[in-house]
Homo-oligomer: A and B are copies of this chain.
Amino acid sequence: MSGQENISESVQADFLKKNTEYAATFRDGDLPLPPARHALVLACMDARLHVEKVLGIKNGECHCVRNAGGRASDDALRSIAISQRLLGTKEVHIIHHTDCGMLTFTNQQLATKIREDLGVDVGDRDFLPFLDLRESVLDDIRTIRESPLVATGTKVHGYIYEVETGKLKVVE
C-alpha cells in the first residue's frame, strides 16, 4: 500500500466518523427540495470559504454552486437554469474572495504545467483565471444577467469575501 492510499483512506474514514456524529443529532429529514429562500449562491471552491457558515444559511435555504473562482462558467449557468426553472430560485449571490488561487496564474502557465506534469496538451483552453477581484465579480454578474438561460430581471448580487477577516463586502 502506498502512502497516498493511507492518506486517502484516512480522509474517508474521518468523513464517515464525523458524518455518524452529524446524523446522530440530525432533525431536518422533512425539508422540501426547493430552497426556502429562493436564492442561489455561486462561490469559489476555496477551502477557507465555508459558504453556509459565512452567510448564516440554514439547512434547506439556498442552492450553493461552487467552482474554481466562483465563475459564471457555462456549467454554472446550467446549474442556475435548473435551479430557477425547476426549483423556483429567483436571485443569485456571487462570492469571490481575497488571496484567491485564480489570481496567481495565466492560462498559458497552467497549460505548460499540465503538459509538464501530465503530458497533456490542453490547447487554448480557458481555465477562467482573473487579474482583478472586483472586475471578476462584475464580469460574472454581467454574464449571468445576459445569459439566455437566466430569467430576465433576475437579481444578481456580488461580494468579495475577505479570508483574512471573515468579512463579506458588497461589490457595487
Contact status of A37 and B22, CB under 8 A, knowing A29-B164, A117-B151? no
Interface of A is mostly: mixed
Write out the residue numbers on chain B whose beta carbons fall within 8 Å of the beta carbon of A50: 52, 57, 59
* Known pairs A19-B56, A23-B166, A99-B33; A63 contacts B46 (CB<8 A): yes
Q: Which B residues lie within 8 Å of A81 (CB)?
A: 110, 114, 127
Give 19 A-B pairs besides A28-B166, A65-B68 with Cβ atoms closer than 8 angstroms. Answer: A8-B39, A8-B90, A12-B170, A19-B167, A23-B165, A28-B48, A31-B48, A33-B46, A33-B101, A34-B47, A47-B63, A50-B57, A52-B52, A52-B53, A64-B66, A65-B66, A67-B67, A81-B114, A82-B110
Taking Cβ atoms with an 8 Å cutoff, the residues of A that contact B are 4-5, 7-8, 11-12, 14-23, 26, 28-29, 31, 33-40, 45-48, 50, 52-57, 59-68, 73-76, 78-79, 81-83, 85-87, 90-91, 93, 99, 101-102, 104-105, 110, 113-114, 117-118, 120, 122, 125, 127-128, 148-149, 151-153, 155, 157, 163-168, 170
